[in-house]
């Protein structure tokens, strides 16, 4: 299952459907012919090799229009031949929403001494640098894996019904300064009443945290073997199927679990923990896939978190705003939980024929959680509360007087602000035609992670997206192409 942007006027005079992928940074298009109409093709060729599939073509330029914003010259890979699961879903390519430092196209253009290879989102944000620079996703689910399902994707604004995400605590990237991917720290995993500790192999990361890549281009979540064992190993009838590379389990076996980031707990819908198998109705499969990704992550992350988790949250990826020097502040992610564990259990029971559970809670570890927590008060605190209750009426009177004064000040302040500016309090870009995402280029040795400067830039390894589930048969090898290699490993998508 992948999420596709429909009716995007990506290349002027033509619409192309593309997969949205926060785990990569390149735009590539495979049209009915190559080169695409109204494009300018260069002699530079490259084969983007993925874990599943590949895409080969020429670095090219074309005028692009996305969400009402025109980009006169957008660099992309004009693909002449490809084998990629995204194409089987009726798409024409992939739109990478990651940082520009991961862009192969930008690296190839940069080798020529030019800076015109920046990503589409870089150029979209650069069109109006005074506006907020973030993207927002909501991914819907369906109990039928063959259904067409919808989601929303906005640039510089959030859906009104999810405006509460603006008030949630930001989750910093790791590293905080100049990250190369959307990687954050995972505090803990909750399965039922059990808390599962996590560890990391990433240098300089806290030993009791895991560094996870948040990737909308991945259907499932790829985690260490022991984590997946803890999730599925206790289920009657569950077993690891080495031919699939996944756990299989009875479809009526409910697994209640949650992940904790930056002290906040995010329940995961049980329907997404054990989706129905695409190949048989006899069993369901575990969407948390045991896999050692140390070679893929190059020591930069421990997990890849995919759509099976992202469907349970409304996610905002904020790249930071431009300062007066054209640089961006540190990026971060915000997540708004969309799952009530008890309601989700009822959904699962209705869909799978099991019995709904109630009173599902998770105890946050080492911080305040967004979910329910259990708190016990010591005798000293209890005694203090009793003493406070004696003076409570007097305290209320003083508070009421203070509140009256504060109310007057607030009213005056609101009147002043209304005269000074129009519009709501939700942070958003003015509608210059914004309904999509960004990538940026990390600054070396500085706090900013984005630069408008046209000078040469430094590159890191490319796309880490996994665009299809692990049981897809391996694709044929790519043969051909005379493009020179650049100093970066193959991407995984």
Q: What is the per-residue pLDDT across 442-460, written as a single tens digit (0 to 9) for each?
A: 222 333 333 434 344 443 3
Q: Does domain 4-128 have CATH number 2.40.70.10?
A: yes
The domain locations on the chain are 4-128, 135-352, 389-420
Q: What is the 3-state secondary structure (H, E, C) of 405-462?
A: HHHHHHHHHHHHHHHHCCCCCCCCCCCCCCCCCCCCCCCCCCCCCCECCCCCCCCCCC
Q: pTM for this structure?
A: 0.73
DSSP reduced 3-state for 239: strand
pLDDT at 254: 98
Strands 93-96 and 14-21: parallel
Q: What is the mean pLDDT of each run of 10 residues along the chain (493 residues)?
A: 46 73 88 90 90 88 83 94 85 87 92 92 85 88 59 89 97 92 97 96 95 90 97 97 96 98 98 90 94 80 95 94 77 97 98 96 70 35 41 44 38 33 41 29 32 40 36 37 42 36
Give which of 140, 159, 138 is closest to 149, Cα–Cα.
140
Q: CATH for 135-352?
A: 2.40.70.10
- Same topology, domains 4-128 and 135-352? Answer is yes
**Do you find a cis peptide bond into 448, omega within 30 degrees of 0?**
no
pLDDT at 145: 52
pLDDT at 142: 64
- Residue 228 contacts residue 288 (beta carbons within 8 Å): yes
Residues 6+ apart with CB under 8 A from 30: 55, 57, 79, 80, 81, 82, 87, 92, 93
pLDDT at 305: 96
- CB count within 10 Å of CB 169 equals 15
**What are residue 172's DSSP bridge partners?**
332
Q: What is the per-residue pLDDT across 214-225, written as a single tens digit (0 to 9) for each?
A: 988 888 999 999
Cα–Cα distance measured from residue 336 to residue 138, given in angstroms and rounded to the nearest whole number: 10
């Amino acid at each position: 299952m992948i999420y596709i942007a429909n009716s995007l006027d990506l290349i002027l005079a033509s619409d192309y459907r593309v997969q949205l992928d926060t785990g990569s940074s390149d735009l590539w298009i495979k049209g009915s012919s190559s080169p695409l109409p109204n494009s300018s093709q260069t002699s530079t060729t490259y084969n983007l090799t993925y874990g599943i599939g590949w895409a080969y073509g020429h670095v090219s330029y074309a005028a692009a229009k996305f969400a009402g914003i025109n980009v006169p010259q957008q660099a992309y890979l004009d693909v002449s031949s490809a084998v990629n699961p995204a194409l089987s879903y009726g798409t024409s390519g992939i739109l990478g929403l990651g940082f520009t430092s991961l862009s192969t196209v930008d690296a190839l253009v940069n080798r020529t001494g030019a800076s015109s290879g920046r990503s589409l989102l870089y150029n979209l944000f650069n069109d109006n640098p005074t506006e907020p620079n973030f993207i927002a996703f909501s991914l819907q689910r369906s109990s039928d894996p063959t259904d067409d399902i919808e989601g929303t994707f906005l640039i510089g604004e959030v859906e009104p019904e999810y405006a509460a995400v603006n008030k949630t605590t930001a989750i910093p990237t790791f590293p905080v300064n100049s990250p190369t991917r959307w990687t954050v720290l995972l505090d803990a995993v909750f399965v039922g009443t059990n808390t599962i500790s996590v560890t990391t192999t990433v240098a300089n990361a806290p030993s009791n945290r895991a560094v996870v890549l948040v990737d909308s281009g991945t259907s499932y979540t790829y985690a260490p073997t022991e984590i997946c064992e803890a999730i599925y190993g206790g289920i009657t009838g569950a077993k690891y199927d080495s031919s699939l590379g996944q756990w299989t389990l009875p479809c009526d076996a409910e697994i209640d679990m949650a992940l904790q980031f930056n002290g906040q707990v995010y329940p995961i819908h049980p329907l997404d923990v054990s989706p129905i198998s695409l190949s048989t109705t006899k069993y369901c499969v575990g969407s948390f896939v045991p896999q050692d990704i140390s070679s893929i992550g190059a020591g930069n992350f421990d997990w890849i978190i995919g759509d099976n988790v992202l469907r349970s949250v409304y996610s905002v990826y904020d790249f930071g705003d431009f300062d007066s020097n054209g640089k961006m502040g540190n990026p971060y992610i915000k997540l708004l939980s969309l799952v009530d564990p008890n309601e989700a259990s009822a959904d699962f029971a209705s869909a799978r024929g099991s019995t709904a559970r109630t009173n599902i809670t998770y105890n946050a570890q080492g911080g305040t959680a967004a979910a329910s927590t259990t708190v016990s008060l010591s005798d000293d605190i209890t005694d203090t509360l009793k003493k406070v209750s004696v003076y409570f009426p007097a305290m209320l009177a003083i508070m009421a007087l203070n509140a009256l004064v504060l109310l007057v000040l607030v009213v005056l302040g609101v009147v002043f602000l209304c005269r000074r500016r129009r519009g709501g309090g939700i942070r958003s870009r003015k509608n210059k035609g914004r309904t999509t995402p960004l990538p940026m280029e990390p600054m070396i040795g500085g706090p900013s992670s984005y630069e408008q400067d046209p000078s040469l830039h430094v590159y890191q390894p490319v796309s880490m997206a996994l665009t299809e589930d692990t049981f897809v048969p391996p694709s044929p090898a790519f043969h051909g192409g005379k493009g020179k290699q650049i100093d970066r490993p193959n991407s995984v998508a």
